[in-house]
Amino acid sequence: MRRFLSFRDFDWTLLGMVLVLCTVSVLEVYSATLHTKYAGFHTKQMFWISGGLVAMFIFAKIDYHKLIDFVPWAYGVCLVALVAVMFFGQKVLGARRWIKLGPMHFQPSEWVKLVLILAVARYFANLGGRSLTWKDILKAFVLVGVPLLLVLKQPDLGTSLTYTPILVAGLFLGGINLRQALILLTACIVLVAGVWSSGKLLKPYQKARLTSFINPDNDPRGTGYQLLQSKIAVGSGGVWGKGAAKGTQTQGDFLPIPHADFIFAAFGEEHGFVGALLVLLLYFLILMRLIQNAQTAADLSGSLIIMGIVAVLTFQIAVNVGMVIGFMPVTGIPLPLMSYGGSSVLFAFLALGVAMNVRMRRFVN
């Protein structure tokens, strides 16, 4: 049954584009941290990327069907880990997100993302593409909703939000019909409005962060400050940018965390409209390539896995770049493959590994 499983079927084009993006990331992390206490983070980023590449190749080798078989266990472990974080987590800046295991700091919520992608893919693949009943939809909501609420409780609004596109993509591709979709949408709007006005589930600072993007000038020293500085950074870059390591906003430390969440602002300042557009184009090509892979996947579960990954990546790009240019609130969602950070880089490469995995087995019968 295993025919033609070879790295010739590995998506080298995709990997090439990803590596170009990673190179851009390392260079920009270097530039952004040049005069800060984070100097030298670009080498760390290179380590993370190398680690990610290794993990990617390992994941590419493991048959995704095995992963899918394994997913209920992983899902259970994730829930346990998230509950454990609530009780034993390290408190950093008022939020319990990290578990300390020996020398390792471990943020379960990032891994939950990948597990959720697989779990949702498995769930909808098992339904076999028939039209969904309300019971099916409810189950899918519970599947994603439980970890989402646990992460929201940490509180980590940004990460919990990245779970929603997995559900949305699953429902959309899994066979939801228009009537159900409209009813759900209405219900969601009502729910969000309810959560917002209840004032219990969202902390005041989260609300403030979510609203300050609408008019950051109102509160230039508080939550709107980061957004304003980010817009100034991007805008002052102009068409051609100020040149590498010459961004005054980035180098003068006006831009918050210019190597992580706001790396796109730093890049936009130093390389201008042209550079930013090229990066967006690269992202677009990567996403299109992934969708193409989803199309050619051997079975529904494979397609759903890749589309789950596409959903998460698209959501993160939209929210992060949208935040940097002032369209979206500050949510702390990193830009995949660009932002500095071990968890973020590892997730991206593991997700790519799974996608490669699916592609490599597209001819497997």
Partner 1 sequence: MYLSRGNRDEKLSTLKLTVVQYGILFMMLALAAGLWRLQVLGADNFRLLAEQNRVRKVPVLAARGKLFDRENRLVVDNYPSVSCFLVREQNRNVDADLPLIARGLDLDLEQLRATLRRYRAAPGYQPIPIKLEVTPDEEAFIEAHRNELPELETIDEEWRLYPRDGFAAHLIGYVGEVSEEDLNQTRYAAYEPGDVVGKAGVEETYDELLRGQDGSRDVIVDSHGREVGYLRTQHAIPGQDLRLTIDNDLQRAAELALGNRNGAIVAMDPRNGEILAMVSRPSFDPNAFAVRINRADWNQLITDPNHPLMNKSIQAQLAPGSTFKILMSVAGLQEGVAQNLKINCAGGWGPYGFFHHCDEHHGAVDIHNAIPFSCDTFFYMLGDKLGIDRIAKYAAAFGYGQKTGIDLPGEQAGLMPSAQWKLKNYHNRWYPDETLDVAIGQGAVEATPLQLARIIGGIASGGHLVRPHVVFPDQLPADFRKAMLDSFPGAGDVDIPIDPENWVTVTDGMAEVTQPGYFHTAGSAHLEGIDFGGKTGTAQLMSHEALGKTTKGKSTNPNVWFVGLTPRRNPELVVAVLWQNGEFSYYPARIGAKVVSAYVEKQRRLANNLQPVKAAAPVEMGAVWTVPGPASGSGANPANQDGNPARMQAGHFLVQNGQIVARAIPETRSGARPERKSGTASASGARPAATPSEPGSALPASSGKGQ
Binding residues vs partner 1 (CB under 8 A)? 1-2, 63, 65-66, 68-69, 122, 125-126, 128-129, 169, 172-173, 220-221, 225, 229, 231-239, 248-249, 251-254, 268, 272-273, 276-277, 280-281, 283-284, 287-288, 291, 294-295, 298-301, 303-304, 307, 310, 314, 317-318, 321-322, 325-327
Measured CA to CA, the distance from residue 45 to residue 27 in angstroms comes to 10
Report the nearest approach of partner 1 to the CB of residue 184 (Å).
17
Determine the Cα–Cα distance for residues 302 and 65; give it in Å rounded to an integer.
8
Provide, rounded to whole angstroms, the least separation between the CB of residue 282 and partner 1: 11
In terms of CB distance, is 96 or 122 closer to partner 1?
122
Smaller CB separation from partner 1, 154 or 223:
223
Closest CB 92 distance from partner 1, rounded Å: 21
CB of 323 to partner 1, least distance (A): 11
Among candidate residues 185, 215, 246, the one with its CA nearest the CA of residue 326: 215
Q: Which is nearer to partner 1, 199 or 222 (CB)?
A: 222
The answer to whether 118 and 67 are in contact (CB under 8 A) is: yes
Tokens of 75: 């899902």
- Short-list 175, 61, 197, 84, CA closest to 123: 175
Sign of CA dihedral 234, 236, 240, 241: negative
In the complex, minimum distance from the CB of residue 248 to partner 1, in angstroms, rounded to a whole number: 5
Min separation Cβ 150 and partner 1, Å: 27
Closest CA to 17 of 321, 313, 243: 313
Residue closer to partner 1 (CB basis): 22 or 310: 310
For residue 95, the surrounding DSSP H or E stretch is strand 95-101
- Nearest residue (CB) to partner 1, 77 versus 300: 300
CB of 72 to partner 1, least distance (A): 13
How far CA 85 is from CA of 25, 37, 95, 100, 268, in Å, comes to: 30, 29, 10, 9, 36
Side-chain half-sphere CA neighbours of 282 within 13 A: 20
Which of 24, 85 has the CB closer to partner 1? 24
Asked if 10 contacts 356 with a C-beta cutoff of 8 angstroms, the reply is yes
Would you say 112 or 125 has its CB closer to partner 1? 125
